[in-house]
Chains A and B, each alone.
Chain A
Amino acid sequence: MKKVCYILSLIMISTLVLTACGAQPTAAPTSPPTVAPKEVIKIGGLLDFTGPVADLGPKFQAGIELALEEVNYTVAGHKIELLVEDTATSVDVAVEKFKKLADADDVKIFIGPLMGDAHLAISPLAKEKNVLITSLINGMYQTVPDGHYLIYPTTVDAQTYPFGQYAYDTLGYKSAVVVAADYAGKRGYAAGFIEGFKASGGTIVQEIYTPLGSPDYSPFISTIKEADVVMYALEGPGPVARFITQFKQTGRTTPMITITQDGDYTPEALAELKDVALGIKGESSYTWMLDNPENKNFVEGIKAKTGKVPSSSEQNAYTLTKVILAGLEKTDGDVSFDKLFPAITSLKMNTPAGSLSFGPEGIAITPMYVTEAVKVGDVYQISAPLFTVDQVFDVRVKP
């Protein structure tokens, strides 16, 4: 024991002596002082890679990454880091992942989540943490008072209001049955369609709301009353495919129309659905067939990245990222909400989906299109627009 203490003391003294010897005053530096590197800007992606809308997570991510690759992951001299979390089509998981990114990773800018219910849960948290957050495919008007959401392309009910009018005025349907998934987002879409349809003079015969993830729609289909058209608004490509297949299997010939067609009818879903989906018209916020220079570049970029044509999922995520980057250029890389939000809402730009501007409350003003599922040669795809509304406003905030 005495020997051990002696050796330890020797080591400590030697260390102190060596440290003192090493700490010699150095000569004044001759090279110019280095500039401290700019802080990395973190962007959080709340995307779904599992659950009923799992198809869409990789598409959103591809859109975000393409936008960041175009600027080499740099804005205003700052490097950008993208942190993506799987929100699993679950409100609870979305809230948990939002908190993780905001608290543990110090993220100030969020893209997503997708589901309307998640928007409602996260909006007050975003306000509390004073961070910027965006929707992915439309958003909930109820988040506007919290003032921290960028709602793109517009609110769910504003998005489908013109389509309700189109169904009556142009397609000539006088009565409709509405079938929608029973959660905030799709109820909102349904409400917008219903309001627009009724405003033009149409009659809503019946409204059916189906539980999220329903395995079998036949009980609901058996109750559908006679009407000129059935409008369905279900939670993703899988449920949409099940519904229209099971509906057609009953032998009923009532025409069907839908909303968020370009988002739900992904190229993969159309390839599997084949003729079952043909001829169904729907509301879309984007179609890859749009003829403008921004879209041509965007389509080429996504094709090179994923091997497939884009849908509104890639486009929305891409445009939202471009919007954030443009805002950061304006603020010279300042991510604080109080500077970034007004910088973004003052933007006017052309995007692959058409013109884009924002109201001061954060609701985007964008076009709406009516499209159709078609077959070109052997390829099933979404058509070019049959009808366009240049600017969709939410009447609750329209100037």
Chain B
Amino acid sequence: MDFFLSNLLNGISYGMILFLIAAGMSIVLGIMGITNLAHGSLYMIGAYIGWTIFVQLGMNFWLAVFAGAVVSGIIGLLIERIFLKHLYKQVNEQVLLTYGLVYITTNLVTWIWGGRYRLQFTAPELDMHTVNLGSFSFPLTRIVITIFGILVALILWYLQDKTRIGAIVRAGMDDKEMVQGLGINLELVSMAVFFVASFVAGLAGVIGAQLLSTYPGLGENVLLLTLAVIIVGGIGSIQGALVGGLLIGLIDNFGKALFPQYAMFTIYFAMIIVLLIKPSGLLGRSK
């Protein structure tokens, strides 16, 4: 029972980090049709900003979370304004350009912060504190990660499904020209979506650093996982990113625990199965 419970809870908390990273990329890809492979780098930048604020400057952890999110949001917006807005519907060029940005950000991060792994960090009130669940203990940091993930999911879902702006975003996903014909400034909406997506990625970076630490190359490692989540969950919806994140998190945890010799492949098995059964993803929109 302990084995099952600990892996279930670990899988959910890890899955929440994956959701936080993937949500933004899924929305941007689904709504704006932009393939931004530098999304993982925004996660990494958020983590480094958080490290600088909290570990290096000794300031408040929650301030570090906010700062990481804001900086990543701004950088994401700059990427969209300077580069990506000129490559509308040019998928190949988007892929090449954003993958080039991955290399640039990795080297910039190495230049600024050095190549050394930065150890995981968390608020003092959470550090090494655990909650007793029967005969085993569960770290408080993972509970906080899970709560954060749920809160962000609720906020984004509310924005997406229950607000006018969300309706515009969803309509724009289906028919851009019609939405623009109604006099809606879709470009402004797209900028706002890109900022929010990058903001959430940066926030995920600091929250995730409690578990995963941060280092140059984190962006590329995270990108693979993000793509797996999007493929499994489906593109363009918060629900899809959440389901995908949780599923990948649980499969990864239980897979490694039960079949450690296949630890490197378990999530890719899940991807292959989903692609065979439902190529648009579990909650993706079929064409």
A residues sitting closer than 8 Å to B (CB atoms) are 49-52, 54-55, 57-58, 182, 208-211, 213-216, 218-220, 222-223, 236-239, 241-242, 245-246, 248-251, 268-269, 272-273, 276
Contact = CB atoms under 8 A, between A and B. Distances in A.
Given A219-B7, A223-B3, A238-B213, A249 B260 contact: no
B100 interface: no
Contacts of B213: 238, 241-242
Given A216-B212, A220-B257, A210 B263 contact: yes
B7 A54 contact: no
25 contacts: A50-B106, A50-B115, A51-B217, A55-B117, A57-B115, A182-B263, A208-B260, A209-B260, A211-B264, A216-B252, A218-B253, A219-B7, A220-B256, A222-B6, A222-B10, A238-B116, A238-B119, A241-B117, A241-B119, A241-B120, A241-B213, A249-B141, A250-B136, A251-B137, A268-B116
A89 to B, nearest CB: 9
Nearest to B11: A219
Contact of A248 (B119, B128, B132, B260): B128
Contacts of A248: 128
Interface string B98-113: 0000000010001000
B119 A50 contact: no
B260 A220 contact: yes
B71 to A, nearest CB: 22
Interface residues of B, number: 40
Given A219-B255, A241-B119, 7 more contacts: A209-B260, A216-B10, A218-B7, A222-B257, A223-B260, A242-B213, A248-B128
Interface in B198-251: 211-213, 215-217, 221
A50 B217 contact: yes
A55 B117 CA distance: 7
A234 to B, nearest CB: 12
A236 B110 CA distance: 17
B137 A249 contact: yes
Nearest to A57: B115
Contacts of A209: 260-261
B130 interface: yes
Contacts of B61: none
A218 B6 contact: yes
B128 A249 contact: yes
Interface string B138-158: 110100000000000000000
B257 A223 contact: yes
B10 A249 contact: no
Q: Which 10 A-B pairs have the closest CB atoms?
A: A238-B117, A251-B137, A54-B115, A219-B256, A249-B139, A218-B10, A219-B257, A272-B119, A55-B116, A219-B253
A294 to B, nearest CB: 28
A276 B261 CA distance: 29
B48 interface: no
Nearest to B254: A219
A186 to B, nearest CB: 15
A77 B6 CA distance: 65
Contacts of A210: 260, 263
B128 A276 contact: yes
B83 to A, nearest CB: 25
A276 B122 CA distance: 14
Contacts of B136: 250-251
A211 B267 CA distance: 14
B194 interface: no
B22 to A, nearest CB: 15
B14 interface: yes
A302 B106 CA distance: 29
Residue of A223, A237, A273 contacting most chain B CB atoms (<10 Å): A223
Interface in B1-40: 3, 6-7, 10, 14
B10 A54 contact: no
Nearest to B141: A249
A215 B7 contact: no
B56 to A, nearest CB: 11
A250 B137 contact: yes
Residue of A54, A213, A236, A268 contacting most chain B CB atoms (<10 Å): A54
Contacts of B130: 249-251
A270 B118 CA distance: 12
Contacts of A214: 263
Nearest to B5: A222
B239 to A, nearest CB: 24
B263 A213 contact: no
A244 B263 CA distance: 20
A54 B14 contact: no
B30 to A, nearest CB: 26
Contact of A49 (B106, B115, B257): B115
A209 B253 CA distance: 15
A54 B6 contact: no
A169 B110 CA distance: 45
B118 to A, nearest CB: 8
Contacts of B264: 211
Contacts of A213: 221
A268 B7 CA distance: 32
Contact of B3 (A222, A241, A251): A222
A250 B3 CA distance: 12
A190 to B, nearest CB: 14
B221 A245 contact: no
Contacts of A222: 3, 6-7, 10, 257
Nearest to B266: A219
Nearest to A48: B115
A286 B30 CA distance: 55
Residue of B3, B116, B252, B254 contacting most chain A CB atoms (<10 Å): B116
A206 B132 CA distance: 26
Nearest to B218: A215
Contacts of A50: 106, 110, 115, 216-217
A26 to B, nearest CB: 54
Contacts of B114: 54
A215 B260 contact: no
A180 B173 CA distance: 48
B25 to A, nearest CB: 18
